Amino acid sequence: MTTSLRSTLDFLLYDWLQAESLNARERFADHSRETFDAVLDTCERIAREKYAPFNRTVDTQEPQFDGERVILPQCTHDARQAFADSGMLSAAQDYALGGMQLPYVVESAANSFFGCASISIGSNLLTTGNANAILVYGTPLQQQVFAANEFNGRWAGTMCLSEPQAGSSLSDITTRAEADGADFEVDPLGPRYRLRGNKMWISSGDHELTENIVHLVLAKIPGPDGKLVPGVKGISLFIVPKKLVDTDGHLTGERNDVALAGLNHKLGWRGTTNTLLNFGEGRYPVRGGAGAIGYLVGRPGEGLRCMFHMMNEARIAIGMAATTLGLAGYYASLDYARTRLQGRPVQGSTSAAGSAGKDASQPPVPLIRHADIKRMLLAQKSYCEGALALNLYCARLVDEGRTGEPQAAQDARLLLEVLTPIAKSWPSEFCLEANSLAIQIHGGYGYTRDFPVEQYWRDNRLNMIHEGTHGIQAADLLGRKVVMQGGAGLQLLGRTIGATIAQARKHPELAAWADQLAQALQDVGEATQAAWATGNPTEALANAVPYMQAFGHTVLAWMWLDVACSVLARDATLSIAASAGRMGAARYFYHFELPRIGAWLQVVRQRDLTCAALDEDAF
């Protein structure tokens, strides 16, 4: 597994994205190809030694709650410690925070080894995302006390949004935050509140892996009448530590009023604790009463804006998680197809009876000799390696947004806004399909636990719901991202794709694909206008998911065309097997996948109301 992944990462990082060129920038001046490779080597080794051997262990030995504490297998503790010791929690952070000041694209590439090895051992992306949000919106002391201790591995972090009655509808949350005493505003750790409410589906919400857990919690501050403000505008963000701390980051010995009500047992990601948390129910009274103590982050009423910094980061990370699970299934089914002997190839012409002839006296051949097996392998390769390219491209945009020249940085941030729903949702759908194909290649063995592909599918099925469902991402894309700023983001994407098309037309063998992508881009633009022709959101968004599927396929076709340009620049003769494989995957995507967008866009253009208009009783 790691050999194939490493060679793919090396090509995408160095030959395609030119990651070494970032070292000319002041922030990354201490780095070189050698330091990047050392990070990749370290993560590859830890993933191979501490994660991969225990992927099945954490699937079968699920977290247990004994009424006081969560019990996890020892391998989870060991893997989490190895990850923290590697420095990867703060890989992209400033030296002053104990970070390595790595480019985010290198951090993302290095973390892909862990996703491939075992996605559900730990949930380090939440800790990093939590700390990053505090870095952006927290006070200097909040950054020093909470973010720094998450980056150094002492503490872990969570994201507490959903509630049992609200799910994805954050405007309906009912967790309350009330000022804690007359001096609440002068607490050095931030304005101090008491929180009461329940949060559901909180990954890593309780465990004994770290000294403390820092919850970032969305809650509403009641108005003067004691009532909660309706909608999302009343939502604020709070730091709620499991154990209270002082201004030096030391534990005070006080348990905060945060109680684990129970563990959710999911289809996949079974190695990660998933919890229902009760805040302020009085099980752990603190400082004289019930109510979980929390410290306001940012300004009142701006909690969702603050949390979205973490959510967007998590969405890209979920896209990468879906991608790496797809790749893990692809590598497993490729190995199986090469070693499993089954069937005999069709020989000669069709017989008079109409069936192709097979010579039963010949020995069976490996599965990979059959055309339909190659079809399924190519589909997986085109989905998963294409998604990997997309996710690394988005990570490279993060670096450009942080360190590029002003105009380039502004463009990178806008492009990332448009691409984030695709980076999260496209891999979640199509790398899951890749996992399904991996099961198919294994035949009857595929859905037994003797082989890992059924677990990869179960783990990946969660990603279409993680960090905003498919429908939410689609509504965000068509309802906001492509129309914001007068369509500036969509126009920028069009120009960026157009530059790739122009480059591809310099290669005769890519000209037809370039024309095909240009037509797809035009079709997406026309469908976008047609969807909004009446200005009626109900009509425009009725087919937001088919729109996102077509949009995503167009973006992935762009990724493959851009990659193909790099392949030919490096190996014009396609003498290297890996080069031929990448071109084969690109050809598959253009011949088999991109033509699918016509049906998706048809219902968007027509503002088809088949789904939206059907009366609920008709179901």
Report the catalytic residues: 467
- Residue 514 CB neighbours (<10 A): 21
DSSP 478: I
How far is residue 88's CA from residue 73's CA, in Å, rounded to a whole number?
22
CB 105 within 8 A of CB 13: yes
Q: Cα-flanking dihedrals φ and ψ of residue 258, to 5°? A: -120, 120
Angle in degrees, 0-180, between the axes of helices 511-531 and 488-504, rounded to the nearest 10: 170
Distance between CA atoms of residues 583 and 14, nearest Å: 18
Q: Are 98 and 151 in contact (CB under 8 A)?
A: yes
One-letter identity of residue 136 = V
Neighbours of 605 (CB within 10 A): 17
- The CA distance from 115 to 298, in Å, is 32
Strands (E), 343-479: 347-350, 356-357
- Number of C-beta neighbours around residue 606 at 10 A: 15
Q: Which residues contact 604 (CB under 8 A, 6 or more apart)?
A: 527, 530, 531, 543, 546, 547, 550
Q: Which of 187, 204, 228 is nearest to 130 (CA)?
A: 204
Which two tokens mark 271?
Answer: 């190695």
Distances (CA, A) of 72 to 14, 121, 273, 342, 443: 39, 10, 9, 41, 33
d(CA 410, CA 62): 45
Q: Amino acid identity of 297?
A: V
Contact status, residue 432 vs residue 322, Cβ threshold 8 Å: yes
**Helix, strand, or coil here: 168?**
coil
